[in-house]
Amino acid sequence: MKKLIPVIYLLCIHWISCAQEIPQKVPIPESELMRLPIKEIVTNYYNGNFYIGTANHGKLIDELSGRIAAREFDYMTPANDFKQSYIHPTYDSWRWELPDNWITYAKDKKIRLRLHSPISPQCSKWVKEDNRTPEELTRMLEEYMTQLCIRYANQPNVQWIDVVNETIAKENVKDPVFGDQKRGEWFGARQGTSLWENPWTIIGFDEESEIHTPLYINKAFEIATQYAPSRVKLIINQHGNFEEVVWERMKKLVSYLREKGYRVDGLGWQAHIDTGWEKIPGNVERLDKFISWCHQHSLEFHITEMNVWMKDGDTTREPEQAETYGKVTSTLLKHVHEGVVGISFWNVRDEDTPNEKWMGCLWDNAGRARPGYERIKQELINHITQ
């Protein structure tokens, strides 16, 4: 036993000297981290549980907005270029140029893509015409979703596909042709082609379902489940201010689709919200609890579109806007150890959106970063060690 003691002692000395030779990671000062692009902070410190990106238009890839997006993000959402209204605008016409360009761009720049390609209100005028029959709409849906998935679902840079979008009414609507719609019920068709509507409900409903699920949702997920590989996550998006009645129906929709054997991998909130949203009682608490619910049910949670509007055009409110961006971001970051969360900002600069005067983007038209940009980076840094 006495002979073993020197041996053990020498081994301990050897282990200690080896450990001392292992280079230790030197913490980067916060001031240095704040100078990094967002994508470098996320890549280096969040291990694939948090994604942050932006939407951009294909026509702007080589313009100022595209340069900002490429500098700051390695996750992008083609804003309108994969929608049915672009790819399959009429019964017998197809357009693939812009989507194909995005795939090439993603490979060249090594970025992830979320295909914003849902069966949704973002549909062609042909689909919105009141005389469309269930048979015609079913064929349009099947052709579009099938060809979309065959062409793009196996592309290595595609990580998410938005399958359906804005399925639930976020406000009460009256319509003389298709009837009234109530908040929290299915968002449906409206008279003419000029109003915000979701004509896919004309296809019909599952009358045996507790929530009378629209059949177009079934069909869209049936096709996506069939053609998209498991590494590509299938997402349902919903807009609004995170109204409780809306998201309670969303929970039931997820259960229904999974019982049918369809794959639902994540839920997305289209957060086009006003400055000060976080100050309204209950908003942040509902969001926080819902993210936990998603992770408890093996769902990713994403803010798939985010603007914080300053609708009065008062630029002195930019610090308030930054607080809203910061609070929402910090609420998501609380959950990074439970499951996947993410944010995609809706367009880079104000003029890229249909609501330029509302000034809801992180960069203004000149490419100047608003305080919200720095606030978001601060939240990312604050949560590194938590």
What is the model's pLDDT at position 385? 63
The pLDDT of 202-220, averaged and rounded, is 97
Whether residue 379 is predicted with pLDDT greater than 70 in this model: the reply is yes
What is the model's pLDDT at position 13? 45
Per-residue pLDDT band at 8 (split at 50, 70, 90): very low
Q: How many residues does the chain have?
A: 386
The pLDDT of 352-379, averaged and rounded, is 97
Q: How far is CA 155 from CA 99, 193, 249, in A?
A: 12, 34, 33
Q: What amino acid is encoded at 372 in this protein?
A: G
- Which tokens in the block code for residue 354? 């249909």
What is the model's pLDDT at position 30? 80
Whole-angstrom distance, CA of residue 90 vs CA of residue 374: 44
pTM of the model: 0.91
- Which tokens in the block code for residue 107? 């490979």
Whole-angstrom distance, CA of residue 227 vs CA of residue 112: 19
**pLDDT tens sequence across 261-304:** 999 999 999 999 999 999 999 999 999 999 999 999 999 999 99
DSSP letter (8 states) at residue 132: -
**pLDDT tens sequence across 12-67:** 444 444 444 444 445 677 888 999 999 999 999 998 899 999 999 999 999 999 99
DSSP letter (8 states) at residue 316: G
**pLDDT tens sequence across 115-145:** 999 999 999 999 999 999 999 999 999 999 9
Beta bridge partners of residue 259, listed in sequence order: none
From the list 384, 381, 383, 376, the residue with the least C-alpha distance to 72 is: 376
Whole-angstrom distance, CA of residue 12 vs CA of residue 76: 51
Per-residue pLDDT band at 100 (split at 50, 70, 90): very high
The pLDDT of 184-192, averaged and rounded, is 96
Q: Which residue do the tokens 């596909």 mark?
A: 161
What is the model's pLDDT at position 20? 47
Contact of 178 with 191, CB cutoff 8 Å:
yes
Contact of 379 with 330, CB cutoff 8 Å:
yes
**pLDDT tens sequence across 159-181:** 999 999 999 999 999 999 999 99
3-state secondary structure of 309: strand
